[in-house]
């Protein structure tokens, strides 16, 4: 069952109308330079690269290529160029691929020229970053491919690596996924622990809180988590427009199908999002229930790094 046109979840996505380049500029670039300084300081400490300083003369020039050693979706090439530029301004870089491209073992993705010492100093930092971001993009693409044709979209979660959230969310987009919240600051997600604090005043408290939030904070969307169909019915009884999305948390397939049917009868514009332990084995069946969104924490918290190597000439 495909989602109906009015249930296009992309309308609530941050940067939903932007291409990858614009997302990179708006999401990643503002905090990139301080992040690079921090990454390099982990390697350099107060003394710098002891091995390179002892064995490589500063005037030795080299040419190198970054090559993929895995199959996957690449992400992070502009960041690699920025690392090379910020840490070693004399290095020249040329991209041979673009973020979002599919790569295979042996494929050349970037060429570098300049002092060998500079390349060696930044080699591990840039390969680590490229491998991590590409791992997230690759994991995302596999889930996106698995639900192709169903109408459901794959969205990320806040289960990201501390300090790398904006890069990992950009990687999700490179892999064809969609973004949920950037953080706590841009959208509302009323979870089970929030509901526990509300107590028995469910309908009154949710309606009042949602209305006040819209007036004062203007979030991109308001979403509420439910654990069973009884809670879902309580959400359907709220005035239209109180919430934008209902998160169906850890529900079985039969319950998800029932929720979709009830939504279609009563609130066609209400978006439904499945979440909780989503795997490659289960995601297709969940998508075929008719939900609009599937939140997959695994695309960030369990992504396997893609291997890249820097080959010197």
Is 99:76 a contact under the CB 8 Å cutoff? yes
Q: Rounded to an integer, what distance in angstroms lies between the CA atom of residue 202 and that of residue 190?
A: 11
- CA dihedral (31, 36, 37, 43) in degrees, to 10, reads 150
The full length of the chain comes to: 313
Q: Which residue has the tokens 């991109």?
A: 220
Strand partners, 308: 68
| Residues known to be catalytic | 124, 159, 191, 225, 249
Is 244:223 a contact under the CB 8 Å cutoff? yes
DSSP 25: I
Structure tokens at 125: 């930092």
Dihedral (CA of 17, 211, 243, 209) sign: positive
Is 245:178 a contact under the CB 8 Å cutoff? no
Strand partners, 68: 308
């Amino acid at each position: 069952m495909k989602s109906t046109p009015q249930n296009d979840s992309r309308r609530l996505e941050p940067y939903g109308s932007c291409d990858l380049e614009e997302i990179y500029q708006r999401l990643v670039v503002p905090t990139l330079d301080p992040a690079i300084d921090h990454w390099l300081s982990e390697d350099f400490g107060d003394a710098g690269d002891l091995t390179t300083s002892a064995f490589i003369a500063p005037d030795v020039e080299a040419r190198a290529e970054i090559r993929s050693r895995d199959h996957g979706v690449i992400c992070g090439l502009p960041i690699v160029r920025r690392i090379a530029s910020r840490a070693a301004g004399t290095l020249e870089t040329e991209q041979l691929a673009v973020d979002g491209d599919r790569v295979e073992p042996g494929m050349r993705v970037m060429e570098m020229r300049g002092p060998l010492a500079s390349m060696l100093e930044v080699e591990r930092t840039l390969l680590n970053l490229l491998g991590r971001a590409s791992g997230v993009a690759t994991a995302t693409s596999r889930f996106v491919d698995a639900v192709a044709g169903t109408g459901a979209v794959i969205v990320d979660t806040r289960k990201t690596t501390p300090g790398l959230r904006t890069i990992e969310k950009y990687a999700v987009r490179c892999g064809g996924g969609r973004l949920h919240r950037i953080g706590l600051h841009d959208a509302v997600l009323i979870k089970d622990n929030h509901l526990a604090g509300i107590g028995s005043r469910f309908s009154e408290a949710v309606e009042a809180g949602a209305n006040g939030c819209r007036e004062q904070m203007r979030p991109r969307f308001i979403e509420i988590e439910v654990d069973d169909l009884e809670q879902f019915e309580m959400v359907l009884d709220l005035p239209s427009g109180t919430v934008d999305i209902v998160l169906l948390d850890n529900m079985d397939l039969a319950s998800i199908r029932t929720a979709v049917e009830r939504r279609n009868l009563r609130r066609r514009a209400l978006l439904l999002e499945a979440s909780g332990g989503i795997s490659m084995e289960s995601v297709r069946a969940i998508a075929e229930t008719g939900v609009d969104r599937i939140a997959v924490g695994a695309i960030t918290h369990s992504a396997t790094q893609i291997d890249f190597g820097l080959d010197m000439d």
